[in-house]
Structure 1
Amino acid sequence: MKHKAIIFSSFSLLPLIFSPCFSFASSDVLLRGSSLSVEKHDSDTLSSPDKTFTCGFYGLGGNAYWFSIWFANSSDRTVIWTANRDKPANGRGSKVTLRGTGALAVTDADGSVVWEAHTTSTDACSLELLNSGNLVLRGPHRRKLWQSFHHPTDTLLPTQLLTKKNKLVSYLKGGEFHSGYFNLYFDHDNVLRLMYDGPDISSLYWPNPHFNVSTNGRTNDNSSRVAVLDETGHFQSSDRFQFNASDRGLRIKRRLTLDHDGNLRLYSLDDQSGLWIVTWQALPAQCIVHGICGRNGICVHTPEPRCTCPPGYEMQEPSDWHEGCKPKFNFTCSKPRDVEFLALPNTDYYGFNAVKNNNASFNFCRQTCLDSCSCLGFIYVESQRWCWTKSSLFNGYQVPSFPGTLHLKLPISIVASLEPIHNGSAPECSAARDQLLVDTSYGTIGKRVRWAYLYGFASAFGAVEILIFFSGWWILFRKRDVHCIVEDGYAAITSQFRRFNYDELKRATRNFKVEIGRGASGLVYKGVLADRRVVAVKRLGDVYHEEEVFWAEVRTIGKINHMNLMRTWGFCCEGKHKLLVYEYVENRSLDKHLFCGDVIEWRERFRIALGTAKGLAYLHHECLEWVIHCDVKPENILLDKTFEPKIADFGLAKLLQRDGANTQFSCVRGTKGYLAPEWALNLPITVKVDVYSYGVTVLEIVRGIRLSNWVMEKAGNEEQEAELTVFIREMKRRYQCGEDWGIEDLVDERLKGQYSRKQAGVLLEIGVTCLEEDRNKRPTMDSIVNQLLEVDDEP
């Protein structure tokens, strides 16, 4: 390097030789008094010894340059750290210098300092870039005085710690290095969170802000705040959050980046192509991210996220959605007769609830908003009679999973003029506007909303054309024998998986020698991968020979990540061979412990009931679409070495829209004794079938015996009746007659009285209510989680 190669005279070299700073000389070490020049940014660089990383001035075109570290072998030279991210240096005369005073500084053309590494020592000797990607300022005896790992920007590298003293901050938008609006950090309660910190508001959006710490599978019962990604692709945080890369293993270059769209993603580098592959991401649905469409904006899941303005609003800044939308009217405290409400189904704005009522009529909710000058609209969920009035419209989203309707408060003159406004919508907004469905049940009628029908017809016609196109595409590619995998589809669907080949799994299982389980979906074998991970390999049965059925399972699993759901590491699809690779769970399934073998103590039983409820609540309420397990039973609840439950076989699940009242299955799924009445009555199947099965399982956890045995013989063998029916009838009789539950007679006698009476009572009550024949009377899984958490600490 021209500027780094410092030539010393014999006299100038002597002080350095006898200085504690003296060490080996290298062209990839910036010594004290040396500099890197922006004019020679292509050659004036530092490289890590293994040539993975490069450090120097990085330009994006124009006259702006940043002192950065980037991956040398990625196709786009991906930047992972930037010193002067908010103050770019001039393309002429700028340089980074390790000064004689020991300070590391980036100076602009006029000599002004645009960035400086702050250290308490003035003894800095050299600057070097390590194989880990860490830029280190060393002092005497190679002591670290400063390092870039302590000051991350938007990316965390393997072995780099995220602590309470630092955080990740996204870039403002793709292709620029300025600080953006999204942060990953440890909150004051020691929980790792994602937050939108915009110009108007700050709003937490991950983990799910609707749930408490425990329901989200986290803990704040610790004083440490530290998280790290190791070299195998395993991430672990002190709040108990963890995940694995889908291609977990050594010798893969990775980065964990908070992207400019607010999603946290783990990337792996393909050495051959130089491209990055997403191997994990925090949020499967981008519209969950807060702030991406700005004030008043709505994120529409189409399924790719699109920003749009609600009727009566327009973009504040056409080139930047972060600026949101502005009203086309002056909102004054109008008389009720001058105001109209426009209904937008499946639409919500998170936060800013002026009034919240959990048992309100629609008219009450509407009148409350009319009476308040600050109310901009209200959300009403008819099925639960929930009402929220909104004082501000932030974090808007429209997804099929939200069961409520936004009733937008607008001047009647605006509502009347909506048709010509929408017919003249801007081209860049039209695609998203077509997706913003408008309901007229409680609002405008007749000519005022003819545009909704017009656009609805246009959307339907376009959807038919797209369907025909992709049907032809599918037929064409089947003939080319892509059979199980089209590369683009694979990349999109299986971003959280690694694809194994059949021979690899055959070796791992020693030719499928050790069978550890079997069920309706196939046989399960124990295996050991090349990286020494112990796994469970499920060989899927004949039902999965149809590609559509197999891909339905893969799509389901690819969207799911929760500590109480069995983790999936990959799959295999080669001809007739279709397999799924799961984590190996040491303590087998619940039934092996509950109905035989050693007795499970009460504390473990309660934890199993709570953890199972959390896993089902995640499937039912946190996924973008409802996921029905369809076969909840002790055999599908696996226990790890600490007896933490992990629900298995959710790949048999049914994905459906949350308004899918007409959902039908082609055949009955599940196990006799755990099946809800809907199956026999041929009624539409909803998540309440899982609630019913959970109720049976909970009662079996308390009783310690099979209640799900399909029949039992009564005296004289004259009649047969389900044992569960007898049990529930007796429980309801006691309850209706005001008798004591008689908990002592109901709890597993093998516990010898060592249990929490209050917890047992709550579990029995939950079990009975879950088994209501009328599914509408059964509780939801998230309400069950809350009930159990209230008694979690009971002795």
Structure 2
Amino acid sequence: MDGRLVLTDPNGQEIWARGELGAGPAYGAMLDTGNFVLTTTSISSATQWQSFDEPTDTILPGQVLNRRTRLVSSFSDTNVSSGRFELLLQDDGNMVFYTVEANASYWSTATGGSGYQVMFNQSGFIFVQAKNGTLLYLISSSNEANSTTSQLYQRAILEYDGVFRHYVYPKKSSSGRPMEWFTLYDIPDNICLSQPQQGIGGIACGLNSLCSMGTDRRPRCECPLGYILNDPNDKLGNCKAIFPVQDCKDESQDVEAFTIHEMPNTNWFGGDYASYLDGTEDSCKQNCLSDCYCALAVYYPGFCWKKRYPLLNGRVDPTDSTKAFLKIRKDNSTVGPRTTTTTTTPQSQDGEKRKNQSSLIISLSVLVGSSIFILMLLAFLYVFKFKGKKTKKISPHQVVPGVNIRCFSYNELEEATNGFEEVLGTGAFSTVYKAVLNDENGKIVAVKKLHKTVTEGEEGFQAEVNSISRTNHKNLIQLLGFCNEGQHRLLVYEHMKNGSLADLLFKDSRLSWSKRVQVAIDTAKGLCYLHEECRAQIIHCDIKPQNVLLDESLTANIADFGIAKLLGKDQTRTTTKVRGTRGYVAPEWFRNTAITIKVDVYSFGILLLELICCRKSYKQDVANENEMILAEWACDCYRRNELHLLAGDDEEAIEDIMRFEKLLMVAIWCIQENPALRPSMKNVMLMLEGSVEVSIPPDPFSFFYSV
């Protein structure tokens, strides 16, 4: 009667109401957009209340999220009460995902200072925009959704597992399209890999729990061996040990009662209280076993981290080379439901002992026999693979199916390089030589010869060549051919007349300011193509001035893209040698975390600083030691508004100081310690071109986490 929408409990007690008292009778209507509105019956038909203003966990096309508006996930897939995750457009305009309990963010649009609204428009695009309508960050979109908006229902939900999913559903049945909701976007793509702040636990799963991605691309939380859920109804909650943990107050410390349970491809982030280098797996295990404070040790070849209770942010990732050593009690009666406990008599113990001895003899016999068989098999394979390979011939003009590149013989390239005489450049994994092809044009090319330590099998190399050769962009150096003969792995690229950016950037005859800006834009375009436009996403892993080559018109071409995929895991780890210099390597390389396209964004940020300041990322011969590391010095100058120190005597840059500052801000966004805060290369490209506003960046070194 009072024109309000009221919710009551079974006793008739009002527990929720919306609408204004005294505004006259009102009616409710569910609009075609999915918005439920309360409207007065007056001539103006003013809207008293609408559901779009108070979203729960879902937004729909046509809906807007203003600042301070939030989505709250449900508790589970069957319990719709408030859960542990929230999506919030903060007062500063930054849209963040965070956990309610830990109050820790795990994903962000990095639009602080300029974000005004989150829009879900009728074309199926979800994005953060500035007050003037400028698009700042594209959260989700689909060409399919955009072209068939009239044929698809759409919704986006912050689900109980903390993932924001954009769904579509066909309005009419059509061939090849099932009549069901299907996902366009998952954000983040893998919440198990989300990095928390130091000492914060429980991002994707609870304490002592392990997060893994299922075949349905949904995260699952499980308790490790010897642990169970605190609350069986909370599948994302904390786990607890079902055995007495080691007591450091006990003089004996009960060391012999514990053993190690190995967990490959498993890691926990945070909670480590000690670490050491140059250790082995066995030493890492024993170190944890003998330490009463150690609940688990994480091993990565050459590194060992010891962690105490509670175990934070556990994850299982098949691509992770780490191995976890979980300390549990030997007594089966304390291991829990995964094992069975039996009571034995002295007689049964003797019988069991004899049975174990017999089993041991049988096992040893089988092991010896198997070892002999394996050795014979390996010998056969060696003779077949290497002896037979000597007679194998490779056509010097063989073409890889589906791509327009040549397969050269080793002798052909040896002749073209005049015995690998003229070196154009060297790197940790290869040497580049100048060559002249023996064809009608006498084309000059660059031949990259990979060192033997990084060569792999023929199939792996061939697959990598196919991947690289299918890239086609004006800012990527073109792959012309390859050699995969015996132990020789070589790649043939087009020759860049003006050499590398390093040759022209740090010398007296440096590039002009306008040309440096264009090189930055060109490089960003090339990286954007590798990250977002290739059929298979390529992470460069080695962006630096030496790998940006300039043609005769000084157009930038990225070189060596994809080559990191040719390296074994042990070679990739050599990048940790630059630790502490803040070179081009992203911090996550040192923290044993998953490597994503954001490592390229970090490296590009350092490169951009070098471009605008015309100096190397690390320089020892400086008057002030605070200027040694360019990234730190540049951030200090930005905070103090002393941009002239960075520009130096570059009069052209000083005259264009507004653009200089904008490029500096873009670089600072790129080198954020937290990968989630770094923009995508597409946004970087748009900011450099001036299509997207650059918001004020935070201090890149204020966020720090460790494994």
The TM-score with structure 2 as length reference comes to: 0.47
Answer 1 or 2: higher relative contact order, Cα 8 Å, separation at least 6.
Answer: 2
The TM-score with structure 1 as length reference comes to: 0.43
